[in-house]
Amino acid sequence: MEISFFSLAGGSLIIFFAFLTRALTGFGSALISVPLLALLFDLKLVVPLESLLEVGFTFLLIAKVYPKIHKSTLLPMIGGAVLGTLLGTYFLQTLGDPLLKRALGAFVILFAFYFWRGDREERSRNLSANWGILAGAGGGILGGLFGTSGPPFVAYLAYRLREKEVVRASLIGMFAVDYSWRTLVFAFSGLLSADLLFFCLGLIPALVLGTILGHKIHVRVTEGQFRKIVAGILFVSGILLLG
């Protein structure tokens, strides 16, 4: 890829907003950045780029939360994610970009409605660990295909575990494994290039700035207000991807 001023400026603005959102709400930045970046670039570039940005960021959080990770819950999820990522990556490489973008648009619109609702009910149901295989596989497929593995992981862990701190720690642990494996698969699949690595490095300042600013201003914006803003942006980006 050719790294132009426009591509770097546009990508930086999107990454800044995505990680600002993550710092404000704890919401996965991939579901913000991937559909917006897909309006500017090919998904075969966007998905590996997102994986590179996320893998380092996630590992920065591991040391603090590691003792609270529910490791036995993650094991079946990891098994499912390993296989799901391979399948999702295969689809990413073989399906045409217009079809992929329309599928991503439909997925993003559905998630925008869910995110706008902001369901906060206590939903722990002690799901069987066997469901973790399906959640892992679903997240792996979405991650390999769209770079957005979060929804199945979050849904399963929220139902499976009771303590919110354990859910958060386990989610970070799962993302660390998921992004590492996905990046490795992308590397062996030929989806990573020197130009992509340089582009990723150029976006890191926006990632850091968005994260820092998000932590500083989070008290000034209510979660409900911000959810509606983000949901609106997701909905519009989904409509544009469908078109």
pLDDT single digits (tens) 106-146:
888 887 887 777 655 555 556 677 899 999 999 999 999 99
Residues 230 and 236: their CA atoms lie apart, in Å, by 10
pLDDT at 4 (0 to 100): 82
Q: What is the DSSP string of 81-132?
A: HHHHHHHHHHHHHHS-HHHHHHHHHHHHHHHHHHHHHT----------TTHH
- In the chain, which residues have pLDDT < 70? 1-2, 25-28, 118-127, 218-223, 226-227, 243
- Is the CB of residue 124 less than 8 Å from the CB of residue 162? yes
Delimit the domains of the chain by residue range: 5-242
pTM given for the model: 0.84
Provide the residue count of the chain: 243
Q: By the 8 A CB rule, do 221 and 24 touch?
A: yes
User: H-type helices in the chain, by residue range?
Assistant: 5-25, 30-37, 43-65, 71-94, 97-117, 131-146, 150-160, 164-188, 194-217, 223-242
pLDDT of residue 125: 59
Tokens of 95: 């399906």
